[in-house]
Amino acid sequence: MSGMYIICLSGEREKLQFAAMAASVAAVSGTDVHIFLSMNAFPYFIKGHSKEAPAEGKLGEAMAERKVPPFYQIFEQAVELGDAKIWACSMAMDVLGVKEDGMEEIVAGPLGLTKFFSDAEGGQILTF
């Protein structure tokens, strides 16, 4: 595949978890993976922000009870083991007044949507 481009918008546990699993699975299979953080998925990647996302429903609650590895840890593995890149939406940074050094270390840097879509040409775009 010529790359997987994952857009994370939702701040709910189930969506973040699945996005992280998708990133991890694709990255360790050798696919070029890029994650674009925006909207309510964005704040979890601000330094010091809680990494616990509220469950949307039954599955999200069951995952916590079963001690499934949380989404943030899976994203870390995708970056460390699979060389996935996590990008911070520059619009979201502006709106929340966050600078580049206010983002967690696993974030590769800020990115605009125009560049993300241009890079994604020919790849798979997934939205969560």
In three-state form (DSSP H/G/I as H, E/B as E, the rest C), the secondary structure along the chain is CCCEEEEECCCCHHHHHHHHHHHHHHHHCCCCEEEEECHHHHHHHECCCCCCCCCCCHHHHHHHHCCCCCHHHHHHHHHHHHCCEEEEEHHHHHHHCCCHHHECCCEEEEECHHHHHHHCCCCEEEEC
Site residues (vs its own copies, CB under 8 A): 1, 4, 7, 9-11, 14-15, 17-18, 21-22, 25-26, 29, 31, 38-40, 42-43, 56-60, 62-63, 66, 68, 91-92, 94-96, 113-114, 117-118, 120-122, 124-128
Q: Whole-number minimum distance, CB 75 to its own copies, in Å? A: 15
Select 22 or 79, whichever has its Cβ closest to its own copies. 22
Select 68 or 108, whichever has its Cβ closest to its own copies. 68
Q: Whole-number minimum distance, CB 74 to its own copies, in Å? A: 11
Q: Whole-number minimum distance, CB 83 to its own copies, in Å? A: 17
Q: Whole-number minimum distance, CB 117 to its own copies, in Å? A: 6
- Angle formed by the axes of helices 71-82 and 13-28, to 10°? 20
Select 9 or 108, whichever has its Cβ closest to its own copies. 9
